[in-house]
Amino acid sequence: MALADKAAFGRRIERLYTYWKDNLAHMDSLSIAVTNDDDVTYSKGISLMIWLLGYELRDTIMLFSMEDIFVISSKKKTDFLRPLRDMLAKKENMPKMTLLTRMKGDSGADHMKTVIEKVKALKSVGHFPKDHFKGELAKQWNAKLKELEIDQVDATAHIALCLAVKDEQELSHLNKVAQYTSDIFSKYLRNELMNIVDEEKKVKHVKMSNNIENLVAEGKKCLLPGMDKDSVEVAYTPIIQSRKFSLKFSASSDEEKIDYANRSSVTVLFGTRYKSYCSNISRTVLVEPAEKQQKNYELLLEIVEKVYSIMTENTKLSTVFNKCVEFVKEKRPEWLNNFPKNIGFGTGIEFREPSLLIGPKNDNVLKKNMVFIIQIGVVGLKEDEKEYALMLGDTVVIGDTGASVLTPSKKKIRSVSIFLKGEGDAEEEEEEENIMENITRQSRRTAVIDNKLRHEPLSDDKRKEHQRKLVEKLNQEARDRLSAKKNGYTEKKKVQTSVAFKNLQSFPSNDPDIRNLKIMVDKKHESVIIPIFGIPTPFHISTIKNVSKSEEGDYVYLRTNLNVPGTQVAKDEHYSNPEATFMKEITFRSNMRKTLAGEVPAMHLNNAFRIIKEVQKKFKQYENEKKEMEDVIEQETLKITQTKGVPRLKDLYCRPNLSTRRVIGTLEAHSNGFRFHNTHGGNVDVIYSTIRHAFFQPCDKEMLIMLHFYLKHPIMIGKKKTYHICFYTEVGEIMTDLGKSSHMYDRDDIEAEHAEREMRQKLKGAFKNFIEKVEALSKGKVEFDTPFRELGFFGVPFRSSCMLQPTTHCLINVIEWPPFVIALEEVELIHFERVQFQLKNFDMVFIFKNYSRKIEMINSIPMSSLDAIKEWLNSCDLKYTEGAISLNWPKIMKTINDNPDNFFEDGGWKFLDPDSEEEGEGEDSDAAGDESWGPGEVNSDEEEGSEESDSDEEYNSEDSSAAAASAGSSSGSGSSEESGKDWSDLEEEARRDDQRRLREEREDDSPKKKRKIAPPPPGKSSSKSSSKKKKRR
């Protein structure tokens, strides 16, 4: 048996005795006798026992008094209660618990005699007269109590009021069971009814009721994360009615078949229990309802909502009922003849609490955190001489401003009715509901994937039309985003200027090298002191661009180049006055001959050169580490959960590795984050709030199963920062012995395959169980996303080909390392390059909403995947374009960032669309577009090269040279019509263009002198033409 919850017992026993002292002063003791009786499901004694102890202890007698608590039970149960006894002994003003163990086969008469002797001194004993247990132990105990000459008090109503107000733990159980009940109705029961109507099946009421009961018993569907399927059961047998109607919970489903003819109604009463706490839902499904039926249903819904608003704290239950009756009398007085005598009751561990009936004579008061089952209905209604009933009900909790519904299943007429005819109004309302559902979802992309998997792909024309609408929306959103960024205040990053010496006292003026006007390197202050015109002048190591040493004859030359404004490395913002005069280069010369003292002057320059190089190397290393750590944010402290029930996964590996080799470890989920600790003692903490996206990669057709986390901010793993961390284990053997001969029916191979399948299923179950617990523990902060393998495609994001799979929010490949993860919400546009009929592969370019971010590219995607990718992107509301050539994206993005207003005035991203008007006007417009937005020509001029390298650095492009080279080759073709020429034709064309350009430059240099081109020799051209004609003949 599990351990008792001492904290819950301590709270509730204090609450019980406080209520006893305030409201039951005339009762001296309270008796409970529970035996093993399967016919008894609900009783006050069982409810009080579960409320206090958390478990139902059968064959147990408990007697409560102000000074003592006596328990007569078996050894196993008294051992379970022993920690509670010890806890009570340490508390002041609390009764002492005495445990009396009844051995196997013992009737317990001796222990009863001991307890009865204590009771004789009391004046009264409380009991529950409606608890009827057939067990011998209960009969003996009740008989001995009747023999006593003391008053017996009915404590049923008082204990019910004590248990009515629920604490946080109870409300948690009630929330889960109510949501589970609602999901069973919405996801199974309602859909099953609609299928029966659609397919015109002949199904009996009792069979459908049994199907629901079996579904709950299996515990496979609709369970919430963290729910134990063994703790879920039906509160009563589900009641399905469509011909004869009764609003009582004592009714049953009969053997008649479900009536789904027009104007009929099907009423459903369904309740479940979780850890002994109950919930209920009542709904009516109308089949092709008439207008009057719809109005009646809407009125009933209005009545229910009115009751919920009346149920405020400190309101009498009779007041709630009377106001409801008054509202019905005002709206539809003829309903009062068939209106129920009560409209609900309190619930909790007992399904129906008679002391808390919402009726005309109950003056008990509503209190916050009381839970009720509301059920309002009308029977005996007729439409087209067909009798029908209406019924609605929910499980609600009392709050500050009224009752809050715990069973959120839809109640509107369009959500619970079946319309067999297509009506315009119905279609419009369905569209509105779909829009609202999409808005309330976490992301639009969730619906997108579902549609992709369930519906046929859109036609090409519809897709193009949708893309045309998207480009207008895209340009407008980008323009608004840039204007908001321009109007908003963006704090510029402060540039720290390095200072050699902060004050005069730190300057080493007494150093002999400085006194002798020699070059001196101060390692402590990372500075070089150089004599200039007889004055020792300090230079910080960051101001030195490079230093070189050369030997010519008997001399050694030390050349130092300094950073000045306007160069690539030294930006103007690094200087307080960029317009000042700067020294760019200093050269020192020293003799290699020995002096009279036997010294070689050049040795000092050699030492200075060596030390400057060392200081430069250390400074650059420090700067790189500092730059790498800029965006690393220290995580909050992990709060370790001390209980034993911490969710954990064992035998996992971590990527990136914590050490030089792989080390196995355990992943644990605590209250605010994960902790991975390996066998060597290394720990990695990942806080829930730092996780941006969490992915679960199952082992279906993969050799790894893993949990991957994409973080908002990088964390340090060892000495490196990373945005990605994953925990995985291998499934089966990664390597296969090709030299091993195997047979198709080899028993060892069959057993190995069977064992591998079992291990895969076991691992998937363990990972899914861990995920469910984590999602419940994190309270929605971490939600795991599973990739859709059906929508996957192959490509090369880095160096090797791998399968890229869409998820709800991202496009990922986490099997390979480094991982590839792109969040779709950050993507503005996708461009397909090298889309040509004769090519087998194409490339996919991702342009992000942050234009300063480097583009991402996936290469070598099979052409067969193009249509599927387009369909997926279109369903995600992402704009895509395609082209036949590769573009120089660093140069394009620099052009956009330099002047975004002109870019969007010229049409924005429409220049990439081959169907756009800008590119469809002829060859001249194509050439102009290529000249403006294409990769451009590679110029050999140094100034242009430096400007291009500057732009590449601003764009953070690492492969700018490769991109420029590929872009240059593609731009040389000029248009898509010439892309089919071979190299010899292209070289000949380039040679002619060079000669023409050279002639034009010469003519521009000498405009006054006109060259006279000599005519060709007579007959030469004609002879060529004639010879050609002869050949043709």
Q: Which pLDDT score, from 0 to 100, does residue 464 have?
A: 82
Give tens-digit pLDDT for 826-844: 999 999 999 998 899 999 9
Answer yes or no: is pLDDT of 1023 > 80.
Answer: no
Q: Which pLDDT score, from 0 to 100, does residue 738 have?
A: 55
Answer yes or no: is pLDDT of 50 > 90.
Answer: yes
Share of the chain above pLDDT 90, in %: 38
Q: Which residue has the higher pLDDT, 895 or 962?
A: 895
- Name the token pair of 75: 């050894």
Average of pLDDT values for 322-336?
Answer: 93
Of the CA atoms within 13 Å of residue 839, those in its CB half-sphere come to 19
What is the Cα–Cα distance from 464 to 974, expressed in whole angstroms? Answer: 27
Q: Say if CB 363 and CB 374 are below 8 A apart.
A: no
Q: Which pLDDT score, from 0 to 100, does residue 914 have?
A: 66
Q: Under DSSP, is residue 445 helix (H, G, I), strand (E, B) or coil?
A: helix
Using alpha carbons only, give the angle 50, 54, 58 rounded to the nearest 5 degrees: 55
The reply to whether omega before 656 is within 30° of 0 (cis) is yes
Answer yes or no: is pLDDT of 751 > 70.
Answer: yes
Answer yes or no: is pLDDT of 494 > 80.
Answer: no
Q: Under DSSP, is residue 608 helix (H, G, I), strand (E, B) or coil?
A: helix
Q: Say if CB 823 and CB 841 are below 8 A apart.
A: no
Average of pLDDT values for 319-326?
Answer: 94
Burial call 947-977: b when 16+ CB within 10 Å, e when fewer: ebeebbeebebeebeebbebbbebbbbbeee
What is the Cα–Cα distance from 804 to 781, expressed in whole angstroms? Answer: 26
Q: Which pLDDT score, from 0 to 100, does residue 516 have?
A: 85
pLDDT band with cut points at 50, 70 and 90 for residue 757: confident
Q: Which pLDDT score, from 0 to 100, does residue 693 have?
A: 93
Q: Say if CB 448 and CB 457 are below 8 A apart.
A: no
pLDDT band with cut points at 50, 70 and 90 for residue 1003: low
User: 801: exposed, middle or buried (C-beta count within 10 Å: 0-12, 13-18, 19+)?
Assistant: middle
Spell out the residues 6+ positions from residue 730 whose beta carbon is closer than 8 angstroms to its own: 653, 703, 704
pLDDT band with cut points at 50, 70 and 90 for residue 1010: very low
44-53 vs 156-164: helix crossing angle, rounded to 10: 40
pLDDT band with cut points at 50, 70 and 90 for residue 570: low
Q: Which pLDDT score, from 0 to 100, does residue 293 have?
A: 92
Instruction: Report the amino acid identity of residue 723.
Output: Y
**Which of 442, 445, 447 is CA-nearest to residue 808?**
445
Average of pLDDT values for 1010-1014?
Answer: 40
**Which of 410, 185, 190, 183 is CA-nearest to residue 287?**
190
Q: Which pLDDT score, from 0 to 100, does residue 401 have?
A: 77
Please count the helices (runs of H) and the strands (runs of E) in the chain: 26, 36
Answer yes or no: is pLDDT of 426 > 60.
Answer: no
Q: Which pLDDT score, from 0 to 100, does residue 227 have?
A: 85
For residue 348, give the DSSP letter: S
Q: Which pLDDT score, from 0 to 100, does residue 1017 have?
A: 42
Q: Which residue has the higher pLDDT, 967 or 543?
A: 543
For residue 93, give the DSSP letter: T
Q: Which pLDDT score, from 0 to 100, does residue 177 have?
A: 93
Question: H or E segment at 830?
Answer: strand 827-833
Give tens-digit pLDDT for 646-699: 888 999 999 888 877 788 999 999 988 999 988 777 788 999 989 999 999 998
Question: H or E segment at 667?
Answer: strand 665-669
Radius of gyration of the chain (CA): 42
For residue 1, give the DSSP letter: -
Q: Which pLDDT score, from 0 to 100, does residue 903 have?
A: 86
Share of the chain above pLDDT 70, in %: 82
For residue 838, give the DSSP letter: T
Q: Which pLDDT score, from 0 to 100, does residue 1009 have?
A: 40
Q: Say if CB 72 and CB 98 are below 8 A apart.
A: no
Instruction: Report the amino acid identity of residue 67.
Output: E
Give tens-digit pLDDT for 900-957: 888 888 888 888 876 654 444 444 444 334 433 443 333 334 344 444 444 444 444 4
pLDDT band with cut points at 50, 70 and 90 for residue 134: confident
CB atoms closer than 10 angstroms to residue 292: 13
Answer yes or no: is pLDDT of 1021 > 90.
Answer: no
Which residue do the tokens 């995985």 mark? 728
Give tens-digit pLDDT for 257-274: 998 888 889 999 999 999
291-310 vs 317-331: helix crossing angle, rounded to 10: 150
- CA distances from residue 531 to 244, 505, 513, 535, 538 in whole angstroms, order as listed: 110, 19, 10, 5, 9
Give tens-digit pLDDT for 776-813: 788 778 889 999 999 999 999 998 999 999 998 999 99
Q: Which pLDDT score, from 0 to 100, does residue 442 have?
A: 39
Asked which of 401-410, 540-549, 1006-1015 is least confident by mean pLDDT, the reply is: 1006-1015
Give tens-digit pLDDT for 348-405: 999 999 999 999 999 999 999 999 999 999 998 988 888 899 999 999 999 877 888 9
Asked which of 199-208, 242-251, 567-576, 926-935 is least confident by mean pLDDT, the reply is: 926-935
Please provide the average confidence, as pLDDT, over all residues in the chain.
Answer: 81
pLDDT band with cut points at 50, 70 and 90 for residue 969: very low
Q: Which pLDDT score, from 0 to 100, does residue 1032 have?
A: 38
Q: Which residue has the higher pLDDT, 500 or 1023?
A: 500
For residue 62, the cross-strand partners are 32, 71
Question: H or E segment at 234?
Answer: strand 232-234
Which residue do the tokens 């992915």 mark? 695
**Which of 169, 186, 161, 159 is CA-nearest to residue 394?**
186
Answer yes or no: is pLDDT of 172 > 60.
Answer: yes
Answer yes or no: is pLDDT of 896 > 80.
Answer: yes
Give tens-digit pLDDT for 451-481: 344 444 445 778 888 888 888 888 888 877 7
Length of the chain as a residue count: 1033
Average of pLDDT values for 320-343?
Answer: 92
- CA distances from residue 580 to 531, 583, 587 in whole angstroms, order as listed: 21, 10, 22
Average of pLDDT values for 182-211?
Answer: 89
What is the Cα–Cα distance from 149 to 774, expressed in whole angstroms? Answer: 58
Q: Which pLDDT score, from 0 to 100, does residue 14 have?
A: 93
What is the Cα–Cα distance from 495 to 515, expressed in whole angstroms? Answer: 34
Q: Under DSSP, is residue 387 helix (H, G, I), strand (E, B) or coil?
A: strand
- pTM higher than 0.85, yes or no? no
pLDDT band with cut points at 50, 70 and 90 for residue 448: very low
Give tens-digit pLDDT for 294-314: 999 999 999 999 999 999 999
pLDDT band with cut points at 50, 70 and 90 for residue 860: very high
DSSP 515-565: HTT--EEETTTTEEEEEETTEEEEEEGGGEEEEEEEEETTEEEEEEEE--T
CB atoms closer than 10 angstroms to residue 581: 6
Query: Which backbone phi and psi does 811 adopt, to 5 degrees?
Result: -120, 125
Answer yes or no: is pLDDT of 429 > 80.
Answer: no
CB atoms closer than 10 angstroms to residue 889: 21
Helix, strand, coil content of the chain in percent (nearest 5) = 40, 25, 35
Give the sign of the dihedral formed by CA 121, CA 126, CA 129, CA 135. negative
What is the Cα–Cα distance from 49 to 66, expressed in whole angstroms? Answer: 18
pLDDT band with cut points at 50, 70 and 90 for residue 488: low
What is the Cα–Cα distance from 449 to 806, expressed in whole angstroms? Answer: 9
